[in-house]
Amino acid sequence: MSGGVAGPDALAPLVSTVLDALVKGAKTRGGPVAPGSPEEAAVAVAEAFHGVGATGAGGHTSQTSQTGHTSPAGQTSQTGHTSPAAHTSPAALDRLTELLAHGSADPADASCAAHLHCPPLAVAVAADLAVSALNPSQDSWDQAPAATVLETLLLQELAELVGYDRERAAGVLTSGGTESNLMGLMLARDRVLGAATGRQIELTGLRPALGARPRILASAVAHFSVQRAAALLGLGEDAVLCVPVDEQLRMDTDALAALLDGCAERGELPIAIVATAGTTDTGSVDPLRACAALAAEHGAWLHVDAAYGGGALLSDRLAPLLDGLELADSLSLDWHKLGWQPAAAGVFLVAESETYASLARRAVYLNPADDEEAGYPSLLGLSLRTTRRADAFKIAVTLRTLGREGLGRLVDACHELALSGARTARNHPCLELYAEPVLTAFVFRYLPVDADEKHGDDEQRSDDINAALRRRLLREGRAVVGRTELPGEGPGRVRLKLTLLNPHTTAEEVERLLLEVVAAGRAEEEAAALR
């Protein structure tokens, strides 16, 4: 076992095995992603999975140590006997870890820049190992005494960073923006509908006799989890009204005001406005102060999805982009994006702790009232989950190691990379930049070389080539590039995307990546000409 006084001794050789296997896997991969098709990858994984470790249901393989004793963990105990609780072969650990490293997209590689998928800081990974070894669970104090206090202190500090009053705010660590957005909209439903109906929505549920139809308003480029949350909350995805965006893909507040007025005219009840601080494609930030003013005017809850853009709070240069964030009733932050943490490291915060009331839960085996009265705190009523990892620990270690200033330098470095890459795209004759970067991502497309000569303005052909060149780069193991589509309908919307989250990447490496895109585009044009 990994816990107890002897736990580190049992863990140490296995960690060494993992580290060696990570090196071997990365070397055989040799780039941002292993070359090959999805089918080839599936075959390789299946062969390795079936080829090592257990021999069948209930059967186990083991290795013999240098002393001649069989040890399922690859090590003989201090008494010379096999540990009866260990059944994992180090051969399986070694082989499958190497396979995982070989078959993973590596966000630390300069040519892996498709998603909000960061290379985690080594100190955060080391801190996460401690959590895995000790396995505290945040659903009761007696499972996680130190971690319970640490999460509370961390959330107070993050609330202050946002601009909330640390003594009045509340929050919890989540699995990410999707869970945080669900929580924000759940509280919006309970608070606003509860006030409108005089009922506790979390107890009575939604009744047909409600009258006014609940509405959620979010921009046309808001995260898809807004619709998913509406469905899970019993409101239906159709309850979400998509607000048009401006040319910079920010919520159009005039359009938002008109939609809110339309709700009033139709007798509908706007329960929440979801503003986005850092859209996944362009990093656009909605006008937060204007959204807050409209929410207050119409009695709606303001939730800000700052899963990506919240990282700007770490940077003196970029923090002004989030002016007005402190006016949100609730918000989401993801430290596994611009925070360089291993997933998951989501944060959900509310400005006023009393708005959390509908989530409060009492389970006598976890947080009995007399325990809390005796001074034993519980985080159970702050989360949608029961068993919950101590994900606050790695964030706390990182903040105390690098501080806001150190993390801010990493944010600024990635922002500079995006600006440099955008300049390269703007100046290359075969690339078309969509918009200047706001945070650390930019959107562009490859322009077919002979479009004007042979095909005119063939937007469908451009879409096909851009989609195909991305798959070619993946198949050849040369690059992991993002793909998205601009708002609207019809052809001509497919775009490529670089999301730059590795502060150690250089501007020259980003330029080389864009040249790889151009080369792949030309190869796709040649292949299309032969078909």
CA distances from 296 to 229, 270, 327, 353, 413 (A): 22, 11, 10, 18, 37
Note the pLDDT of residue 208. 57
C-beta of residue 146 within 8 angstroms of C-beta of residue 161? no
**Most distant CA pair in the chain: distance in Å?**
82
Burial class (CB in 10 A: 0-12, 13-18, 19+), 310: buried
Count of domains observed in the chain: 2
Q: Is residue 341 part of a domain?
A: yes
Q: Where does a domain end: 388, 412, 435? A: 388
Measured in degrees and rounded to the nearest 5, phi and psi for residue 477 equal 70, 25
Question: What CATH number is given to the structural domain containing 521?
Answer: 3.90.1150.170
Quick one: 377 and 427 in the same domain?
Answer: no
Q: Which residues contact 314 (CB under 8 A, 6 or more apart)?
A: 338, 339, 404, 407, 408, 410, 411
**Structure-token pair, residue 325:** 């964030």
Complete DSSP assignment for 408-471: HHHHHHHHHHHHHHHHHHHH-TTEEE-S--SSSEEEEEEPPTTIIIIISS-HHHHHHHHHHHHH
CA distances from 43 to 10, 36, 103, 211, 359 (A): 33, 11, 12, 55, 45
Q: Is residue 380 part of a domain?
A: yes
Distance of alpha carbon 409 from alpha carbon 244, whole angstroms: 34
* Dihedral over Cα of 97, 103, 109, 114: its sign: negative
Measured in degrees and rounded to the nearest 5, phi and psi for residue 269 equal -115, 110
Quick one: 242 and 314 in the same domain?
Answer: yes
List Cβ<8 Å contacts ≥24 apart for 196-200.
Answer: 196/269, 200/358
Q: Is residue 499 part of a domain?
A: yes
Question: Strand ranges (DSSP E) for 46-97?
Answer: 63-64, 70-71
Quick one: 433 and 344 in the same domain?
Answer: no
Quick one: 318 and 380 in the same domain?
Answer: yes
C-beta of residue 302 within 8 angstroms of C-beta of residue 275? yes
Q: Which residues contact 274 (CB under 8 A, 6 or more apart)?
A: 181, 184, 185, 216, 217, 218, 219, 222, 226, 303, 304, 305
Look at strands 494-499 and 441-446 and give their pairing.
antiparallel
Q: Where does a domain end: 357, 388, 419? A: 388
C-beta of residue 479 within 8 angstroms of C-beta of residue 318? no
**Structure-token pair, residue 119:** 């290379």
Distance of alpha carbon 307 from alpha carbon 116, whole angstroms: 10
Residue range of the domain that includes 329: 137-388
Q: Is residue 45 part of a domain?
A: no
Q: Is residue 2 part of a domain?
A: no
Assign residue 135 a region: left if phi > 0, alpha if psi is -120 to 50, beta otherwise?
left
CA 11 to chain centre: 29
Quick one: 415 and 516 in the same domain?
Answer: yes
Q: Is residue 96 part of a domain?
A: no
Q: Which 8-state DSSP code applies to residue 39? A: H
Q: Is residue 106 part of a domain?
A: no
Radius of gyration over every alpha carbon of the chain, rounded to an integer in angstroms: 26
Question: What CATH number is given to the structural domain containing 333?
Answer: 3.40.640.10
Quick one: 263 and 381 in the same domain?
Answer: yes
**Structure-token pair, residue 144:** 């996680």
Quick one: 441 and 477 in the same domain?
Answer: yes
The span from the first CA to the last CA of the chain, in angstroms, equals 59
C-beta of residue 131 within 8 angstroms of C-beta of residue 11? no
DSSP SS3 for 403 = helix
Q: Is residue 58 part of a domain?
A: no
pTM given for the model: 0.91
Q: Which 8-state DSSP code applies to residue 164? A: -
Digit-by-digit pLDDT tens for the chain (531 residues) are 998 999 999 999 999 999 999 999 999 999 999 999 999 999 999 999 998 866 544 444 444 333 333 333 334 344 344 444 444 568 999 999 999 999 999 999 999 999 999 999 999 999 999 999 999 999 999 999 999 999 999 999 999 999 999 999 999 999 999 999 999 999 999 999 999 988 899 988 887 556 789 999 999 999 999 999 999 999 999 999 999 999 999 999 999 999 999 999 999 999 999 999 999 999 999 999 999 999 999 999 999 999 999 999 999 999 999 999 999 999 999 999 999 999 999 999 999 999 999 988 899 999 999 999 999 999 999 999 999 999 999 999 999 999 999 999 999 999 999 999 999 999 999 999 999 999 999 999 999 986 554 444 689 999 999 999 999 999 999 999 999 999 988 999 999 999 999 999 999 999 999 999 999 999 999 998 887
Q: Where does a domain end: 332, 360, 388? A: 388
Strand partners, 170: 350
Look at strands 63-64 and 70-71 and give their pairing.
antiparallel
Quick one: 276 and 420 in the same domain?
Answer: no
CA distances from 77 to 1, 72, 92 (A): 12, 11, 20
Assign residue 69 a region: left if phi > 0, alpha if psi is -120 to 50, beta otherwise?
beta
Quick one: 318 and 371 in the same domain?
Answer: yes
Quick one: 384 and 442 in the same domain?
Answer: no
Note the pLDDT of residue 54. 62
Distance of alpha carbon 284 from alpha carbon 248, whole angstroms: 7
Quick one: 158 and 225 in the same domain?
Answer: yes
C-beta of residue 100 within 8 angstroms of C-beta of residue 38? no
Residues in the chain: 531
Quick one: 501 and 379 in the same domain?
Answer: no
CA distances from 471 to 149, 215, 417, 437, 474 (A): 47, 39, 24, 24, 5
- Tokens 């700007």 belong to 312
Give me the amino acid identity at 424: T
CA distances from 488 to 14, 244, 494 (A): 52, 10, 11
